[in-house]
Copies of this chain bind each other. A is one copy, B any other.
Amino acid sequence: MVVVMSAEAEEAHIQAVVGLVEKAGGEAFVSRGVNRTIIGLVGDVEQFGTLNLHALPGVTDVVRISVPYKLISRENHPDRSVVRVGGVPIGPGTMTLIAGPCAVETPEQTLEAALMARSAGATLLRGGAFKPRTSPYAFQGLGEKGLGILADVRAETGMPIVTEVVDARDVELVASYADMLQVGTRNMQNFALLQAVGAAGRPVMLKRGMNATIEEWLMAAEYIAQRGNLDIVLCERGIRTFEKATRNTLDISAVPVAQRLSHLPVIVDPSHSGGRRDLVLPLTRAAIAIGADGVIIDVHPHPETALCDGPQALVDGDVRELAETVRALPPVVGRTLTQV
A55 adjacent to B250 (CB under 8 Å): no
- How many interface residues does chain A have, given as a range? 35 or more
CB neighbours (8 Å) of A134 from chain B are 189, 216, 219
Counted per complex, copies of this chain come to: 4
Tell me the bound Cα distance from A193 to B189 in angstroms.
Answer: 13
Segment 242-260 of A: residues with Cβ below 8 Å from B: 242-246, 249-257, 260
B256 adjacent to A222 (CB under 8 Å): no
Tell me the bound Cα distance from A153 to B214 in angstroms.
Answer: 40
Known: A2-B2, A246-B257. A38 touches B65 (CB 8 A): yes
A340 at the interface (CB under 8 A from B): no
B304 adjacent to A55 (CB under 8 Å): yes
Shortest Cβ distance from residue A130 to the other chain B in the assembled complex, whole angstroms:
9
- Partner of A136 from the list B209, B219, B328 (CB cut-off 8 Å) is B219
A283 adjacent to B252 (CB under 8 Å): yes
A323 at the interface (CB under 8 A from B): no
Segment 169-205 of A: residues with Cβ below 8 Å from B: 169, 186-187, 189-193
Q: A32-B42, A213-B245 are known; give 18 further A-B pairs, CB within 8 A.
A: A29-B38, A31-B40, A36-B66, A38-B40, A52-B311, A54-B310, A55-B304, A69-B135, A134-B219, A135-B219, A169-B169, A186-B191, A187-B189, A190-B190, A210-B211, A242-B242, A250-B251, A282-B291
